[in-house]
Structure 1
Amino acid sequence: MIAAINAALIHNQSQPWMYDVLALTMEILGRPQPEIERVLLSRIDFSAADVPSMVYSAAYLTRFKADQQALKLYQQAAVLQPDRPEPYIMGLRLAEKLKDAEGILWAATGILTHVWIKDYEQWHEKALNALANLEQSFKKAGRQAEAERVQAARSQALERDLKLELTWNGDGDLDLIVEEPRGTVCSFESPLTAGGGVLLNDGYGPKQENCHEEYLCAHGFPGTYTVRVRYVSGNIVSQRAKLKVTRYQGSDHPVVQSMIVPIAKEDRLIRIDLEKGRRNQKSEAPQNSQKNSSLLPVLNHFVSARPVNPGGRESLKSFRVSRQAGISTGRQVPLVTGVQNVGGVAYQPVITVVPEGISLTGSAVVSPDRRYVRLSLSPQFTNVTDIFTFSFLRP
């Protein structure tokens, strides 16, 4: 197997899966770890063309215990897309495993600044604990300067340019919509924006603990933020809500302002000026913040319509052409339609809708004398407990 793959690589017939198979085979045969790492790094050079591929390649490196190289790859991905949460989350685990102080400092501060996914509180808590342990270890070792640097980095990571909190009483529902200076809009439809805004909570009545909405922009553009308070439904006590505006939270000079917002059928507009915003460019639009336009209704079904990667199409074409080349002369045969295209391999996504929650089905049977009705009820409890990732190489 190793000889066959090496021959294909030497004759410019390389494909990404060849490096995977080669690394696995070498590991099974007990080859030296430096040789396996060299194969893995060659695979990264071959496939890590964008940030998602870099993140995948870094996760693949950990499979072969190449944690140091994986951590460096996560750091490179974070440089290209600073607002992407995966490099920091995965990087913190590797840095703690390697006991890399600089890696822990980078990953933990990145989590506190850029990670606003679901259950972000637990990730922030892990990051704070990692920084606290790092600071304590420096103090025990007598490295006071490094401990102060960790403390300063934590304080800077906890700074927030703008924070909005909308609260009300009653069983009604209000929406908080924020128009950011560069044209992006943060709302319940787009909870994450390219301008750095995130809607942390979309609340509704009647429970008082749920009657609040919270918007946060850790690094925002300087300029004017237009806040819309929209009435949705229900009864709002006194037809009023309270809006708390906090600028530069965590800095030396925070600015806190509270105001009462009268509620009406029309949106209430409040303009907030942010002079010292720390963001200077937009990030890439988060995928989970946009309306899912990749699901198109066709014949009452939903079919995934992922855009085709042009690089992948070109690689497939080159692969086919290379396999059609003349073995003796090395001449490449043009790719044409017909029987030459038979045998192509592809993967068709199969989408299954799994309803989550409680469903109840019932049937009624009437007796012949119409005096009794027999009811048959069948409740079903469905819950998605976990999601497993897989690949076509190791299903």
Structure 2
Amino acid sequence: MDLGSGTPEEVWKAYFEKNRPSPAAFTTLVLRLHRQRKHGHVIAAISEALIAGQSQPWMYDVLAMSMQIAGRPKSEIERVLLSRVDFTATDVPNMLLSAAYLSRFGVNDRALLLYRQASKISPTRPEPYALGLKLAERLQDYDAVQWASTGILTYTWPSDYRSRHRAAAAAATDAAAALRKTGDNKRAQELETAVAAAHQRDLIVTLSWNGQGELDLQVDEPLGTVCHFDHRQTRSGGVLVHDGFGPVQRNCYEEYVCAFAAPGEYRLSINHVDGDIVGKRAQLTIRRYVGTDHEQTHTHPVVFDDRRKVVRLSLQKGRREKLSDPLPRTDDEFATARGSKRRGGRPFRFGSSVERPSGAGRRVRRGGVGYTPVISMISEGVANTTLAVVSGDRRYVRLTVNAVFSSIIDVATFSFRR
């Protein structure tokens, strides 16, 4: 097609009047225009495609970026991004992506509103609260600071949750101080009360021991979910926040937290996985209704006359009534960190001491395999080798020529964990 036959709008309007390209073909066409830096044509092509009813989710992102490169007014870019929101109004991952684009283009108030809408659709997802807190502080929106900080304290449980919870509590403290500075003591008190309520935990179970060995804690919850080292967060709200092993004493503990727990009976399975436990004893600390006036703490000794012990506990005043929405599918960073810590915590051993998970929270020992990286050199370019053979009467020389043309077309990079 002749891109110089008129203005970009005229060219692409005429194109869509006569053609209806497939989604893949149009994607390739827009990519080619982008590489040629024909941003005016990218904008016109996507706009006409949307008018022609050939919309795709990626179009709004590319259109907004192309409009920014082309220097279009901010109001036009904002309108495009909000159209993307309308396109994915009930899809939480795409809503989060749309909010990130709005924030990137400086539309922070709309981005914050979108994060709050996403949290209403899926209250247990941690991303809206974590991303929204930064915008709330930037905009000095103290209602949003309360929403984000309480959400982080309740629903955010990554491996570094302690630092995130401290940051959320600090943001709430700063917001309350700012409100008091303006004379709004009532609103500041409401914020502090909400944050104190977010610190409440219906159930905390801590298993601690001494020695070089390792114990595993598995919690069967009343609503049918199971929390263990290979499935650290459940739809019942339970989280295995720490998975410990010896010989370093400060690491010899397992901890389970459930902020909003279902009432009923909890079954705790304690597995002696490997190594020696001092005195063959561990200590189980059960805390109920933490942060309330009815807080209870009980400590029980666990004697390992068997490699697996089962303890049952009841929770009568749990605040959860049903399972939460399915958790987002992510890489198991907890298991990855666990493996790397184990190698650093005690010597790596081959053979029968290498464990592999089998079933829910249960391990059996198998033969292990150790991997050692082998680094080799790869040549690229043209290589030529020649072999000369002289005949017996020295009248002829036979040449064998071998030319090799090599090119590296793809390199996959990765990192070794220490």
Map 1:50-69; keep pairs closer than 5 Å: 50-69=91-110
Distance 1:357 1:59 in 2: 31
Number of the residue aligned with 2:59: 18
SS at match of 2:202: strand
For 2:155 and 2:175, the matched residues in 1 are separated by 20
* 1:118 to 2:151 alignment: no
Distance 1:351 1:167, change over 3 A: farther
| Contact 2:223–2:322 under 8 Å retained in 1 | no
Residue 351 (structure 1) shift: 10
Please say if 1:354 is aligned against 2:384: no
Q: Which residue of 2 aligns with 1:345?
A: none
Partner of 2:81: 40
2 CA distance for matches of 1:251 and 1:78? 26
| Counterparts of 1:235 and 1:266, CA distance in 2 | 11
From the superposition, tell whether residues 191 and 136 of structure 1 become closer, same or farther in structure 2 (CA, over 3 Å): same
Structure 2 residue corresponding to 1:134, chosen from 175, 186, 190: 175
Other structure's SS at 1:12 match: coil
Contiguous gaps of at least 5 residues in structure 2? 1-40, 335-409
Structure-2 change in CA distance of 1:184 and 1:190 (3 Å): same
Distance 1:93 1:291 in 2: 24
Q: 1:145-294 counterparts in 2 under 5 A?
A: 145-283=186-324, 284-288=326-330
1:321-365 CA distance string (max 9 Å, x none): xxxxxxxxxxxxxxxxxxxxxxxxxxxxx995735235xxxxxxx
In 2, the alpha carbon distance for the partners of 1:128 and 1:11 equals 50
CA deviation after TM superposition for structure 1 residue 211, in Å: 1.1
Paired position in structure 1 for 2:129: 88
Name the % identity.
48
Give the letter for the 2:155 counterpart. Answer: H
Secondary structure (helix, strand or coil) at the match of 1:199 reads strand
Is the alpha carbon distance of 1:64 and 1:285 closer, same or farther for their aligned partners in structure 2, counting shifts above 3 Å? closer
1:124 Cα deviation after fit: 0.7
- Partners of 2:327 and 2:99 lie apart in 1 by 23
The alignment yields a C-alpha RMSD, in angstroms, of 2.1
Does 2:69 correspond to 1:9? no
Question: Which aligned runs of 4 or more in structure 1 are off by greater than 6 angstroms?
Answer: 289-292
Q: How big is each residue's C-alpha offset from its partner over 1:191-237, in whole Å with a ceiling of 9 and x where there is no partner?
A: 11111111111111111111111110011111111111111121111
Q: Please give the alpha-carbon distance, in whole angstroms, between the structure 2 residues aligned to 1:238 and 1:286.
A: 41
For 1:298-317, list aligned pairs within 5 A: none
TM normalised by structure 2 equals 0.68
Which one has the largest radius of gyration?
Answer: 2
CA contact (8 A) 1:174 1:229 kept: yes
Query: AA paired with 2:417?
Result: G
Give the Cα–Cα distance (whole angstroms) in 1 for the partners of residues 248 and 46 of structure 2.
63
Cα gap change, 1:247/1:289 in structure 2, threshold over 3 Å: closer, same or farther? farther
Compute the displacement of 1:242 (Å): 0.7
After superposition, the C-alpha distances for 1:158-182 in whole angstroms (9 at most, x for unaligned) are: 0000001111111111111110001
- Preserved contact between residue 125 and residue 327 of structure 2 (Cα < 8 Å): no
Report the alpha carbon displacement of residue 71 of structure 1 after superposing the two structures with TM.
1.0
Find the residue that maps to 2:265 and give its secondary structure. strand
What is the Cα deviation at residue 290 of structure 1? 7.2
Task: List per-residue Cα deviations over 1:4-28 (Å, max 9, x = no partner).
Answer: 4333222222223332233223323
The Cα offsets for residues 294-333 of structure 1, whole Å up to 9 and x where unpaired, read as: xxxxxxxxxxxxxxxxxxxxxxxxxxxxxxxxxxxxxxxx
Q: CA deviation at 1:48?
A: 4.2
- Mapped to 2, the partners of 1:114 and 1:35 lie a distance apart of 36
Shift of 1:287: 2.7
For structure 1, the 5+ residue unaligned runs are: 293-349, 359-395
Match of 2:206, SS state, is strand
Shift of residue 285, structure 1, vs aligned partner: 3.6
